[in-house]
Structure 1
């Protein structure tokens, strides 16, 4: 039973970790949490739904949906955030809330408020028994995907020119700009990466849900926001740690709490967030350098 619960926690925490990574990348450079990030998950769901409905093979539909998420994230930066460059982080935060609300309304008007079922392939919805432990295919893929993406992101940030530009910009944006790093390119890469991570997380999320709704991205975004604070704002390693920590806490509370008290699971998780803000405000693994405002 312990192994079963651990797998459930790791798979759920993996989704939160991917979303938190997308938030942390943007925060590490821009100094604000993009609350419109959740709508990128919803966009992926609808793009996948209509791609599959058009008869596009599943692998190609996933690739097209990921590209749509990346393009939408870059467009979001270009249209909404670039004109506000240098503004107060609170202004950017309010702008992200406005974008989130506007996109939810657009999704409702364009696609309707009712859930749209997604016919996922068997390798994402099946399960298999290993020594008495039932492992869902989506759970296993979630754990493996997070591990591979974390390694790939680490290599990208430390071994490539664009990755080093992102790291340098996160540590000291003004000095990085004086050294010849192109500001617009760094901004676009950061948002494109966040869009890619949102798309992968959305694929895992809809595999567990089986449908897409206009507000699908809201709940995982809030949980990922908690994960970024618990792990350490602006810390990519902390975002992953915070996501898995949150997944473990959710599954643990699901086990410990009596059925009549399960409604208090999310409030208890938020109380953990308050505890971190009071006693360890920089999180489990704080960023080495504070983001440039």
Structure 2
């Protein structure tokens, strides 16, 4: 039963990592941009929930989704669109600049101390069956992640803009020559990344009951690692990488000697380095989209 319990925990954590990695991978597949400001989208979602504390939970959740999506679109329009023809290193530096700017805006408004917020605390209760204890939040995380992933698959296969985004991910230059509008495709990609980031925010706030201006930093780093493991540019790979990182993290936490468990993340990154030495291109290799 302990193995099954650990597996459920790993899938739950991996599902959250998968959502964060999908947000990173989606932008990279089209723009060749590793958007480290994605962590600040997650952070802002948490502070929207904090600012609206006391309102109905649905209002808080929908407001976080809407605000984060608008912020993602604003990032694209104000920071990344003017630099679209710049080199990848320039875009990367721009993403760090946006990240620090948003962090310091939040610092000026809310301060640096973590703050508590009551959000979906009822999900902390557990289901018990066959000797297993599964928190409701874990079940919700798995179900929501699967629903969003299925929704993305349907969107990319059935909608016109989704098909255009798939074409742009394969070869952006050719897609533009065939009539795909770059501004529209990239804006939709940022909006989707904002939606994914907002759901990660909801999970983190519900799980920890706190918000902090640094709450997105670790998550975006893990999302980047997951994207690289899965294969940069592959959304399937990003999701797969997220689940792998979640499984490895929970396994190390469960089976490492007790005195080594505080250093779990160090072992995760050591394994990541070893993986890159073995397969630097990631698990799923996909034809990289050309820089816009």
Match for residue 69 of structure 2? Answer: 70
TM-score norm. by structure 1 comes to 0.96
Contact 1:22 1:198 in 2 (8 A): yes
Contact 2:121 2:206 in 1 (8 A): no
Map 1:1-293 onto structure 2 (within 5 A).
1-53=2-54, 56-287=55-286, 289-293=287-291
Q: 1:263 Cα deviation (Å)?
A: 2.8
Distance in 2 separating the partners of 1:263 and 1:2: 21
Contact 2:167 2:175 in 1 (8 A): yes
Contact 1:229 1:273 in 2 (8 A): no
Q: 1:121 Cα deviation (Å)?
A: 2.8
Contact 2:28 2:34 in 1 (8 A): yes
Please give the per-residue CA displacement for 1:213-270, whole angstroms capped at 9, x wherever unaligned: 0100001111111101111111111111100100110011111212211232111111
Distance in 2 separating the partners of 1:97 and 1:272: 26
Distance in 1 separating the partners of 2:76 and 2:193: 11
Distance in 1 separating the partners of 2:44 and 2:117: 14
Aligned residues: 290
Q: 1:276 Cα deviation (Å)?
A: 2.3
TM-score norm. by structure 2 comes to 0.97
Please give the per-residue CA displacement for 1:112-137, whole angstroms capped at 9, x wherever unaligned: 11112121234422212121111111
SS in 2 for 1:129: strand
Distance in 1 separating the partners of 2:123 and 2:99: 29
Where does structure 1 lack aligned partners over 5 or more consecutive residues? none
Distance in 2 separating the partners of 1:264 and 1:170: 37
Contact 2:103 2:213 in 1 (8 A): yes
Cα RMSD (Å): 1.1
Please give the per-residue CA displacement for 1:99-157, whole angstroms capped at 9, x wherever unaligned: 11121111111111111212123442221212111111110111111111111101101
SS in 2 for 1:128: strand
